[in-house]
């Protein structure tokens, strides 16, 4: 029996258990959530952030420690944004939430030339606002919905286009050391999240700001990685594991490894001859 032949309810139960297990492992491995934490879950309206909130709510009910969740959505004033969707969804969940209205859309459209990638500026503006809101809400952690494939794509984006070996860490301390950012979906494959969102029937809100930019470097990297995975199933998992097993002496960064002071050991015969 194939996965598509399994009853949707059984698929959902099995997939939720798998995602809960992966999220729980990431939380344990990186000490993402501690007793008394107030977690600000950034909810964009996409499949990833819906899944993040849903799984964290499941874990909150069964976790051996107490922690709070507050959902925060940044309404960036994109044209035709359905502002009623998220409040309606969050009201049904009966959890604390906050909708923050900031017109970053106009800023991005004014600053970025037509046809150029908007994601960089949009991300920086959004991050600054979310840091401010986290402080206002007394949040001890900021949870983002980046998954395993996002992390791998970022690795190759930096490798191919920025000339550096850098990805997204599962846990990050902000530059001013005031905010801890966590990515509980770090071990979760995007395919699992997509299927979970489909089965849960989340009210997905597409990003109209950059969703139509098919020439984005990230889109090209995603297509490359998907081709690799189809040709060699399991390759993405292997790539992700490489991020957890770094051998600095086998790379070339003189700031992270002291190559200059490497010296050979004295030959055994010379050592014996000195006695």
Residue 73 lies in a domain: yes
Helices (H), 232-267: 235-243
The total number of structural domains in the chain stands at 1
Which parts of the chain register pLDDT below 50? Answer: 211-212, 214-215
Residue 51 lies in a domain: yes
Residue 261 lies in a domain: no
pLDDT at 214: 47
Q: How far is CA 233 from the centre of its chain?
A: 22
Residue 178 lies in a domain: yes
Residue 266 lies in a domain: no
Instruction: Residue 246: name the closest of 234, 257, 232, 261 by CA.
Output: 257
Domain of 89, CATH number, reads 3.40.50.620
Q: How far is CA 21 from the centre of its chain?
A: 17
pTM of the entire structure? Answer: 0.88
Residue 270 lies in a domain: no
d(CA 179, CA 186): 18
d(CA 68, CA 77): 28
Indicate the Cα dihedral angle 62, 12, 53, 221, nearest 10°: 130
Residue 95 lies in a domain: yes
* pLDDT per residue as tens digits for the range 79-110: 888 889 999 999 999 999 999 988 877 777 77
Residue range of the domain that includes 228: 3-256
Indicate the Cα dihedral angle 6, 26, 51, 17, nearest 10°: 30
Residue 195 lies in a domain: yes
């Amino acid at each position: 029996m194939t996965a598509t032949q399994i009853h949707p309810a059984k698929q959902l139960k099995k997939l939720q258990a798998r995602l809960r297990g992966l999220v729980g492992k990431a939380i344990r491995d990186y000490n993402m959530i501690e007793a008394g934490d107030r977690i600000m879950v950034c909810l964009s309206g996409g499949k990833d952030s819906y899944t993040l909130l849903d799984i964290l709510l499941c874990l909150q009910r069964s976790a051996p420690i107490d922690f709070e969740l507050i959902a925060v959505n940044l309404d960036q004033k994109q044209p035709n944004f359905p502002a009623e969707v998220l409040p309606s969804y969050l009201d049904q969940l009966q959890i604390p939430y906050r909708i923050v209205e900031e017109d970053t859309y106009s800023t991005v459209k004014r600053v970025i030339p037509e046809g150029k990638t908007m994601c960089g500026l949009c991300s920086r503006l959004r991050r600054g606002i979310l840091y401010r809101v986290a402080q206002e809400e007394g949040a001890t952690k900021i949870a983002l919905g980046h998954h395993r494939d996002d992390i791998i794509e970022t690795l190759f984006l930096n490798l191919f286009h920025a000339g550096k070996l850098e990805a997204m860490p599962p846990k990050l301390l902000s530059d001013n050391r005031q905010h801890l950012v966590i990515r509980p979906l770090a071990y979760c494959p995007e395919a699992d999240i997509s299927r979970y969102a489909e089965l849960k029937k989340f009210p997905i809100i597409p990003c109209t700001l950059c969703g139509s930019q098919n020439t984005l470097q990230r889109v090209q990297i995603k297509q490359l990685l998907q081709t690799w995975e189809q040709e060699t199933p399991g390759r993405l998992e292997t790539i992700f594991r490489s991020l957890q097993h770094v051998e600095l002496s086998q790379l070339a960064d003189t700031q992270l490894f002291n190559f200059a002071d490497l010296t050979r050991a004295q030959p055994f015969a010379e050592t014996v001859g000195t006695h």
